[in-house]
Amino acid sequence: MASDTDIDGFPKTCPTPPDDGSNVMHLRDMLLSLWTIVMLASPAFATGEVYHLRLAQSWPTNAPLMGDAPRQMAALADSLSGGRLKITVDSANKHKAPLAVFDMVKAGHYDMGHSASYYWKGKLPNAQYFTTMPFGMTTPEQFAWFYHGGGLQLMEKVYAPHGVLSFPGGNSGGQMAGWFRKEINAVDDLKGLKIRIPGFAAEIMAELGAVPTNIAQGDLYTALDRKTIDAVEWVGPSLDLRMGFQKIAPYYYTGWHEPGADLQFLVHEKTYRALPPDLQAVLEAAMRLAAFDTYVSFYHESAVELARLRTEFPNVQIRPFPADVVQALREAYRRLLAQQAARDPLAREIIESLGSYRRIARDWTRVSDGTFLDLVAGDD
């Protein structure tokens, strides 16, 4: 269907994303930097001052996948620096403020954080665009936007006034719409529905009459089990089965809202500037490698756990929302996005950047992955 506007209702302009290469570390440069770092970190160089950083994560102790990212990052920082950069990771069990990681890093109570930036959309509305957007980009598309489409520069623009630096911190891949006690057959079924769902998707759900709430990970199962909530959106098979939702909710709806949810590392800017240049490079390399490994692990766990769900819980119904529900969600999304863009010039800049980059990336995704999946349909 030809149209002068895209899914967000914005003009189809600016087909070429900014990419001056200034923020991009290509693989060759990264390997060169790592080689340099390893040389510097060899015993002959490992006599420098040891820097100790503290990181607060939104996740409980020993949380799989999301918690792997800061753990791996800290281990990489230690080994790549020859022991000169030590990072202690505090879980939510210790700091007791899983949804306040941004505040703690901004205030300098912690040097670093690991979380999801839509958790603080109430305090920093423009941060939510860097996690994921409903009807937005898939993970590879979003990575390309961050590193080649101007995403990192926009993220810096949002966080700089708060003295905080933000870096991609791992990606869950496409997420599921969640576990529902009751079937969703029409838009009216969303009215009064108490659902745990964060971010922009929560505002869209509220537009359609649902009652969204954000509840920390540790309380989700109990909230659904005791009917404090009627539905819960969490992640996808990678993590949902471990939470046990399949035992108490028979409908598992597919995603529309978080097609590639990115986690974030936060660094207190003064902490970062106080590090010697080689340790800044170590820290950035460690965050980037840990983010990549986390994405790969999420993909693997999603595949394995979906297979387990089909085998062990065959009665769970996996399905998309009906087409008219999806259309109502899309229309509410467009209205809210237009309001956001009108509210703030920086919001408009980010929304237009996301929209224009998604358009060119999506064409390639359809031509490559889309046609390939059609081609091999039925092979398995």
Binding site for Ca ion (CB under 5 A): 175
Residue 99 to residue 102: CA distance in whole angstroms: 8
Residue (175 or 302) nearer to Ca ion, CB:
175
Give least dist CB 261 to Ca ion, A. Answer: 6
Give least dist CB 190 to Ca ion, A. Answer: 17
Give least dist CB 108 to Ca ion, A. Answer: 29
Amino acid (1-letter code) at residue 25 = M
By C-alpha distance, which of 321, 293, 177 is closest to 240?
Answer: 177
Residue (233 or 278) nearer to Ca ion, CB:
233
For residue 180, list its beta bridge partners.
231, 251
Give least dist CB 175 to Ca ion, A. Answer: 5
Residue (175 or 264) nearer to Ca ion, CB:
175
Return left, alpha or beta for 340; rule: phi > 0 is left, psi -120 to 50 is alpha, else beta: alpha
Give least dist CB 196 to Ca ion, A. Answer: 9
Give least dist CB 258 to Ca ion, A. Answer: 5
Q: Record the tokens describing residue 109, joined without a space.
A: 């109570």
DSSP secondary structure letter of residue 11: B
Residue 127 to residue 118: CA distance in whole angstroms: 6
Give least dist CB 32 to Ca ion, A. Answer: 37
Residue (128 or 271) nearer to Ca ion, CB:
128
Residue (138 or 175) nearer to Ca ion, CB:
175
CB 114 within 8 A of CB 58: yes
Residue 84 sits at φ, ψ, to 5 deg, of -90, -15
Residue (175 or 271) nearer to Ca ion, CB:
175
Give least dist CB 365 to Ca ion, A. Answer: 21
Residue 234 to residue 7: CA distance in whole angstroms: 25
- Cβ atoms < 10 Å from Cβ of 141: 20
Give least dist CB 67 to Ca ion, A. Answer: 15
Q: Give per-residue burial for 56-92: e unless 16+ CB within 10 Å, then b.
A: bbbbbeebebbbbbbbbbbebbbebbbebbebebbbb
Residue (68 or 284) nearer to Ca ion, CB:
68
Residue (205 or 281) nearer to Ca ion, CB:
205
Burial label, 4 (beta-carbon count in 10 A; 0-12, 13-18, 19+) = exposed
Give least dist CB 216 to Ca ion, A. Answer: 13
Q: Give per-residue burial for 167-177: e unless 16+ CB within 10 Å, then b.
A: bbbbbbbbbbb
Residue 258 sits at φ, ψ, to 5 deg, of -135, 75
Residue 284 to residue 288: CA distance in whole angstroms: 6
H-assigned helices in 81-131: 92-95, 101-106
Half-sphere exposure of 228 (CA within 13 A, CB side): 12
Residue (235 or 275) nearer to Ca ion, CB:
235
Residue (70 or 255) nearer to Ca ion, CB:
255
| Closest residue to Ca ion using C-beta atoms | 175
